[in-house]
Amino acid sequence: MIPLSVPHLAGNEWKYVRECLDTNWVSSAGSFVTRFGEELAEYVGVKHAVAVNTGSAGLHLALLACGVQEGDEVIVPTLTFIATINVVRYCGAHPVFMDADPETFCLDEKKLKRFLEEECEEREGQFVNKTSGRVVRVVMPVHVFGHPSAMGDIMTTARAHGVKVVEDATESLGSTLHGRKTGTFADASVFSFNGNKIMTSGGGGAVVTDSDDVHARVKHLANQANTDVFIYDHDDVGFNYRLTNVQAAIGAAQLEQLDGFIEKKRRNAALYAELLASVHQVEFAVEREGVRSNCWFYTILVSTQHRDALMAHLVEKKIQVRPIWKLMHEMDMFSVCQQYELTEAPRIQSMGINLPCSTSLTEDEVHFVVNAIKEYFSHV
Ligand SMILES: *Cc1c(COP(=O)(O)O)cnc(C)c1O
């Protein structure tokens, strides 16, 4: 079987994990936790990074540190993984669903601008959604499959109305937009090191920021809002969201290999695109001007009429594929939330297939997948 996306552990993982076990530093403190945070901040190009136990936990803390309170609104794309939306609800806030850009699959920055300008207004110093009367606190774009959102425009639009921005950069570690890495644009940004991401710590995540205040708040809340480690005093309802030293050891070893992983992913993406160029029924995702994506996931679009049959054909050939996530506004628990002009996301969702994209994927395997796609279209 050719898997969709599996980890690639080819460096110092064993050595660093052994060091944790040999020195008895296996839990939520230890040199690798500190080192991983520091090396990550340096890699991304930000002042601070706080390692946490999942990307979801990181997103939750990033929203809280940006001031999201019960009853607020957070603007999110409908085309994303469910964690992006769940964390809004963990804060007691309400998601408002935005459409996707047809080329990048990321939050449509033009519709966002129109929504903030036409559907919201300033009331007594607060920026409020006219329909719901709720305060619009944060916009949370997602760099879908590794491709950066239009951060320049999104930041300008949000800043104009005093709305904070959190990058859900969980899929885009190492991607750049005009030479700047994702995670450096917003008030706070979050990466994930889950097993299917471009690099892994087994499970884990990180919140990165240039803000001393956001950093202090995230660090505090991730460790039970502890203010005194001797008498165990706490000044808030915090969380245990810390990463363990063993996980950070794996993460540190993976980070050493990240640039190589990205090279490999980009080479395979280019090979897929080249080999599929002759198949006129297939569109391969494009990279926008000024973007260098980490190419975490490879997505093709085919007509809705062929999508499911093609996936069945590939699965029969033992090629693991998946449609793009079911859209968030279609989930029962979020169906009551406001939606704004969702036209492109449903079209992309109905046409999209994610192809195998592991860092360990070989050229022969790419050829095998492409030949299976060609075989399907030669019979229809
Ligand atoms: C992976 C992912 C997350 C959550 O990360 P975990 O580490 O699995 O909690 C959040 N948002 C998006 C878009 C993701 O792909």
CA dist 206 and 342 (Å) reads 31
Dist. CA 122 → ligand 1 center (Å):
33
The atom of ligand 1 lying closest to the CA of 57 is 9
What domains sit in the chain, N to C, each tagged with a CATH number? 13-255 (3.40.640.10), 258-377 (3.90.1150.10)
Ligand 1 touching residue 53 (CB < 6 A): no
Q: Look up residue 220 and give its two tokens.
A: 């505090």
Dist. CA 203 → ligand 1 center (Å):
10
Q: Which residue, 356, 349, 302, 300, is CA-closest to 326?
A: 349
> Over its length of 380 residues, how does the chain's per-residue pLDDT go in tens digits?
999 999 999 999 999 999 999 999 999 999 999 999 999 999 999 999 999 999 999 999 999 999 999 999 999 999 999 999 999 999 999 999 999 999 999 999 999 999 999 999 999 999 999 999 999 999 999 999 999 999 999 999 999 999 999 999 999 999 999 999 999 999 999 999 999 999 999 999 999 999 999 999 999 999 999 999 999 999 999 999 999 999 999 999 999 999 999 999 999 999 999 999 999 999 988 899 999 999 999 999 999 999 999 999 999 999 999 999 999 999 999 999 999 999 999 999 999 999 999 999 999 999 999 999 999 999 88
Contact 302, 351 (CB under 8 A): yes
Q: Which residues contact 83 (CB under 8 A, 6 or more apart)?
A: 55, 56, 59, 170
Angle, helices 13-23/245-255, rounded to nearest 10 degrees: 150
Dist. CA 57 → ligand 1 center (Å):
9
- At 7 the pLDDT is 96
- At 286 the pLDDT is 85
- At 284 the pLDDT is 87
DSSP for residue 289: T
- At 274 the pLDDT is 96
* Residue 77 β-bridge partners: 98
Q: Look up residue 224 and give its two tokens.
A: 């039970």
The atom of ligand 1 lying closest to the CA of 58 is 9
Q: Which residue, 135, 145, 165, is CA-closest to 153?
A: 165
CA distances from 201 to 163, 253, 254, 342, 379 (A): 32, 9, 8, 35, 43
Q: What does the radius of gyration of the chain's CA atoms come to, in whole angstroms?
A: 21
The atom of ligand 1 lying closest to the CA of 54 is 7
Contact 291, 176 (CB under 8 A): yes
The atom of ligand 1 lying closest to the CA of 171 is 15
Dist. CA 169 → ligand 1 center (Å):
9
Ligand 1 touching residue 201 (CB < 6 A): no
The residue nearest atom 10 of ligand 1, judged by CA position, is 83
Tally DSSP H helices, then E strands, for the chain. Answer: 12, 18
The atom of ligand 1 lying closest to the CA of 84 is 11
Angle, helices 245-255/31-44, rounded to nearest 10 degrees: 40
* pTM, two decimal places: 0.97
The rounded Cα 250 to chain-centroid distance in angstroms is 20
Ligand 1 touching residue 5 (CB < 6 A): no
Dist. CA 204 → ligand 1 center (Å):
10
CA dist 343 and 68 (Å) reads 28
